[in-house]
Structure 1
Amino acid sequence: MIQAIPKLVTFDEFIAWYPEHSECRYELHDGAIVTMPKPTGQHSRVAGFLALKLGMEIERLQLPYFIPKECVLKMPNESGYEPDVIVLDENAIANEPRWERESVITKGSSVRLVIEVVSTNWSDDYALKVEEYEALSIPEYWIADYRGLGGKRYIGTPKKPTFSVYQLIDGEYRVRQFRGSDRIESPAFPELDLTLDRILRLGR
């Protein structure tokens, strides 16, 4: 269950408040500090596997990208999100005023890809974050719904595990969805060899 701390704060207050070495993750939603659900073992495994696959592509192709262990995305409003996986552009980080001191990203141009692995708070991933990542002009956003938890309006009926890739085109997201043995197509990583079936086999 997601729990909100009953006091509205600014983004700067949130960053100053954020406890070091906390067992929980926190996000700021329109000024409200929200305690995020602790990821399950499978959730963590999927996020780690995706980060590993992308890291291998970055290394293989010698791309100027990196995947930080921790990172907070500052939204245009008083919100801040900590994605499950984020790929940053090494060449753009020099223009980020808060990166070195706080691991905060303020510009969508610094981001190549954001990934959210769906859990019980699926509406945040499919509605809230799609809108806000689009507003920040993040070029690519993946939603890894490996349990098929999302609403029917987002993944159809009957609900099935679905991998959604949102691409920013002319300032708006367009989504493509992949299931089963479909090869997941990524504009940022066009040679990536990955299917949802392979993700679902993790831990079996």
Structure 2
Amino acid sequence: MTETHVPKPTRTTPPKPPVSYDEFLEWADEDTRAEWVDGDIIFMSPISDAHQDIVEFFLTLLRVHVEHHEEGWVRSSTFQMKLDVIPSGREPDIVYLREEHRDRMTGTYIDGPADMAVEVVSPESGPRDRGEKFYEYEAAGVPEYWLVDPDREELLVYRLQDDRYKIAFEGREGRMDSAVVDGFWIEAEWLWRETLPPVLDVLRRWEIL
């Protein structure tokens, strides 16, 4: 009797669709740049240094603010947000979850909408961030969605109102105060500087230091 060997899928040989979310999680690892959308695996392009600098700057500010005020959790990409209305497992660049929603946290993903999602737009991700993700986050009930576009030098912030996103901020300059993270604000123009502001300077302006 001939034994047929079926190789186990690896990161280089993803399982064939349709793929369940559990199968996706079993296949993917922390280095996998991919998202799950209704049974399909969507691969993402590598990000630029400038993109990563903005993500790290925003992430550091948000994380320090949240830890200082003990008001929830902050996670970066590779930590997914599983949404059910339009089935998807997305990896926003940054997510924030309030203390009262801690039951949505699992060991590897958020089961349901985060309270804030932040996407730093790249040329490759722009149509997805402004299109599919916009509608998925809106339908799932993510209260605040930040879109940071370095190429356009534009910050867009959407807030849910009557189950639909309304623009709370749009522009390259001006102060944006979050309605989800109490006391968290940034100046939009910080994000377009060739050299981003020192984090300690921002913390002093927030009177955390």
TM-score normalized by the length of structure 2: 0.77
Structure 2: tracts of 5 or more residues without a match: 1-13, 197-209
User: Would you say the 8 A contact 1:11–1:78 is kept in 2?
Assistant: no
1:54 aligns with 2:54: no
* 1:136 corresponds to which of 137, 140, 143: 140
1:19-73 Cα shifts (integer Å, max 9, x gaps): x242x4110123211111111111011011111121232234x142121244211
Describe the superposition over 1:137-180 as per-residue Cα deviations: whole angstroms up to 9, x where unpaired.
Answer: 111110001212xxxxxxxxxxxx21111101121111133323
The structure that has the greater radius of gyration is 2
Pair 1:105-2:105 in alignment:
no
| Identity across the alignment (%) | 26
Q: Give the Cα–Cα distance (whole angstroms) in 2 for the partners of residues 189 and 90 of structure 1.
A: 11
**What is the CA–CA distance in structure 2 between the aligned matches of 1:193 and 1:104, rounded to whole Å?**
26
Q: Does residue 84 of the first structure (1) align with residue 93 of the second (2)?
A: yes
User: Where do 5+ consecutive residues of structure 1 fail to align?
Assistant: 149-160
For 2:56 and 2:127, how far apart are their aligned partners in 1?
22
Q: CA deviation at 1:202?
A: 4.3
Match of 1:8 in 2: 18
* Separation of aligned partners in 1, 2:63 and 2:30: 25
In structure 2, relative to structure 1, the CA distance for the partners of 1:162 and 1:180 (3 Å cut) is: closer
What is the Cα deviation at residue 190 of structure 1?
5.2
Q: Distance in 2 between matches of 1:90 and 1:177?
A: 25
Q: After superposition, what is the alpha-carbon deviation per residue over 1:111-145, rounded to whole angstroms, capped at 9, x for unaligned?
A: 22110000122011111111101111111110001
Residues 73, 82 of structure 1: 8 Å contact kept: yes
Normalization by structure 1: what TM-score? Answer: 0.79
Match of 1:114 among 105, 117, 121: 117
Runs of 4+ aligned structure 1 residues displaced above 2 Å come to: 5-8, 176-181, 189-193
Aligned residue pairs total 179
The one-letter code matched in structure 2 to 1:58 is V
Which whole-Å CA distance do the structure 1 matches of 2:168 and 2:178 have between them? 10
